Every structure is written in C-alpha cells, then in structure tokens.
Amino acid sequence: MAPSRNILPLLLLATLLCTQAKPDDKVQASRDKVSKALQDDEAAWADYVAEFGAGSVMNLVAGPQTKDLPEPARAAAYKNNFKAALREMDKLNKQAEKDGDDVAFGINSHAHLSAEEFAALRATGVRTAAKRRAPRRAGAESAAAASPAAEAAEAAALTSGGRKLQQTCSTSSGQVAYTLGSTVAPAAVNWVSNGFVTPIRNQGQCGSCVAFATTVLTEFALMKRNSIYNNANTDLSEDDLMECEPTLSGCNGAGLNTYVSSVSCRGQSTEATAPYNYADSNYCPAGDTRAAERGAMKTTLNFQWAAVPRSNADLMRAVATAPTQIGVKADGYAFQYYTTGIVGCSVEGKRAVSNHAVTVVGYGVSGGKPYFLVKNSWGTGWGEAGFFRVQKDCILSSKAPYGPFAMFASSPIVPVL
C-alpha cells in the first residue's frame, strides 16, 4: 500500500535527518581506519612508520623521554604508545558519534607519543610572565664562567649587535583599543581561500607556537597593505622574532602578546634572511643587512594590534577583519589525535589553561554546523593538512566554560589595519 499524503512529509523529514546525521566521508574514513588498525595493530604500526617516519622511527617527532634513546628502544616505546593511542582514538570516536559531532580522532603524525610526552613537547609554547623561565642566556653565562675569553666574547657580541640593543620594546607596543563591537560580520570568511594565508609550517621540537601564530598576522598585514605580496611570495621569519624579542623566551615559549608588540616596535625580517632553525639562539644581529630589513619592514607593516573580548561574537567580528591569534588548551587526547571534522563545544574545554598558540583564519558552516577554521604549526601530517575546525557559537557553560579546547581562556589578538 502506498503511504498516505500525511505520512509522506514525515518520511521526507526522517530521510533528511538521517542524511544530516551521517558523518562526512572524510570523518567516516578516519574512524574506519582506526577500527581497522585495532584489528591488526602490528601491521598498522608498520604502516605508520612508513608514512610518518620515512622508514625509520628516528625521523618521527621525538618526545622528551624518547629522543635520546637508541633506535630499537625508541621504536619499542613508540609502538606501545601507538597501540594505546588506537584505543583512545576509538573511545573518542564513539563518544563523538554518541554526541552527534561530525569529527574524527585518528592516526596522525603525533600518534606515537605518550600523553605526557605530547603535553611536554607541544603544550609548552604559551607562557605567562610568572611561568616564563629565567632568560636562556643564563645557561650560556654559567657555562662560560670558567672561560673568561668566552664570557668576554659573548658580552662583546651582545653589546655590539645583540640583544642589549633590542631591550627597549614594551609589551604593549602597537596596542590600540578594540573597536569592533558594533561591526556586522559577514556570514562566512576564509582568509586561506582568499589568498592571505601562507602554507602550513612545522615548528618542530621547539615551543615557538606564538612566533608562528604571530607571523600569520604580520604576513596578512604585509599582503593587505602591499599588493605586490601574496601567499606565494610572502614568508616572514619566526626565527627573527624568537632571537630578537627582549624577554629571551625562544623555544621555551612566550606570552601571546610578546611578538605582536615586538614587531610593532622593531619590525620583522624575512625567512630568506633569517631561516627558522628549530632552536634557541642568544644573538640578535644588529647593524647588518638583516637589521636593515627589519627596520624597512617596520615602516612597511606599520603594525598595530588589539586584544579581543573573549566571546564568540567578538572573535567572529575580529576574524572578519583579519586572522586572529588565540591560545588553546592543547594537552589532551582530542587535540593530539584530531584528524578531521568539526570539534564539538564541550571537547577539552573544562580547564582554563591556554598553552598553545594558533590562528583563526576563517569561519563558516558545514553540514548545518557553524565553525571556526584554525591554522596550526605542526606540519601537514596533523589535522586537516595542518588546519583544524572547532564549533562556533558554543554556549559557554559550566560544562564547557571556555568552549572547545579552552579557546576563550585568554584574550585573542587581532591586527588592526
């Protein structure tokens, strides 16, 4: 018997709801990959090493506990971590499915690290003034104490072209008042597809995330102010920020506003002049080609920035004008194993601790769910080829007081052009 006309609308509605509830193909594929890997974790580990280790676990990102181990011992530790990770991924995926979140947690370039190693390696880049360690030059001075010649050489370098010449920048240099409260933002913005975001980079084993997040802002400002620059020929130097900012933070992390104020104060050189070297340095060149480039870029950028109120609406308005730097809570399984999709409102959002800096580069709607698009600095083997999405317009409640990954635990920062 054919269904009555009264039943047909209900059947159509049920069909539509089922269609909307079905995970995105990429999400489902990532979940299925984990399920398959659990059936033969030895084969899955071999595939993982082939994909992310270039045939050798020595080429995988090394955690603090394993980086100095010989390869066989490191391989054994990584394999155990990986097998345990598969079970955690499966739990996260089942919870996401239960919650109706269209997101997948799965095998990415960080699946071989223990939770502790991941937190120590990746969730250390954002520092408050109280938690920032003593200037890293202190170690060099202690080592040089037994060598007067070395001590004199370092002092001469610092005086005639090093850090002491850069100690005049204020942490509020370039800061202006936030004035976007009444701005009406468009329905969707994507600075990546609009050509104002450069390719994904990898900060490596260095807590330099704030330098990378800030550079997204300065590169955007450069491209917006000067039509000769685009996402193919623009590449400003994170290393220059790390070497020349006054607080000597380097790979130990920095405050969210450390480098935006530094760029406003003294400019930023290019990657070609100061390539990223994944390490600390005690020397900031002055009086040379690189210093001249910084000075010229300071004038070209005329960089100013504002702290954004911690709300969905204000972040949306800020991102509508420019990529916006934020701090997130990154030391959790959900962040470590994220592969694709939109992270739901309640995930990893309970603790008010920002320990990693990233940049929101757009927002939109997918499958009826609004999201923020965020650029990370861990290479293309993590997330959606280096990016991730989190649900927008979350209700900040006692269950999730700071939104996904504690995005609103600190004030975002937007360049003002």
Q: How far apart are CA 299 and CA 292, in angstroms?
A: 11
Among the listed residues 209, 265, 284, 394, the single catalytic one is: 209
Q: How far apart are CA 210 and CA 128, in angstroms?
A: 12
What are the helix (H) ranges across 160-231? Answer: 209-225
Q: How far apart are CA 291 and CA 361, in angstroms?
A: 30
Residue 135 amino acid letter? P
* Residue 356 a catalytic site member: yes
What are the helix (H) ranges across 40-147? Answer: 41-52, 71-99, 115-122, 137-144
Alpha carbon of 33 to those of 26, 60, 169: distances in Å? 10, 20, 50
Q: Which long-range contacts (CB under 8 A, 24 or more apart) does 54-61 make?
A: 57/112, 60/109, 60/112, 61/109, 61/110, 61/112, 61/113, 61/121, 61/204, 61/205
359-373 core/surface letters (b: 16 or more CB in 10 A; e: else) = bbbbbbeeeebbbbb
Tokens read off for 61: 């990102």
Nearest CA to 82 among 29, 30, 40, 122?
40
* Residue 376 a catalytic site member: yes
Residue 46 amino acid letter? A
Tokens read off for 217: 């802002």
Burial class, 65, CB count within 10 angstroms (exposed 0-12 / middle 13-18 / buried 19+): middle
Among the listed residues 108, 252, 312, 376, the single catalytic one is: 376
Is the torsion defined by CA of 99, 23, 80, 62 positive or negative? negative
Whether the Cβ atoms of residue 323 and residue 361 lie closer than 8 Å to each other: yes
Among the listed residues 81, 284, 356, 394, the single catalytic one is: 356
Q: How far apart are CA 230 and CA 329, in angstroms?
A: 31
Return the active site residues. Answer: 209, 356, 376
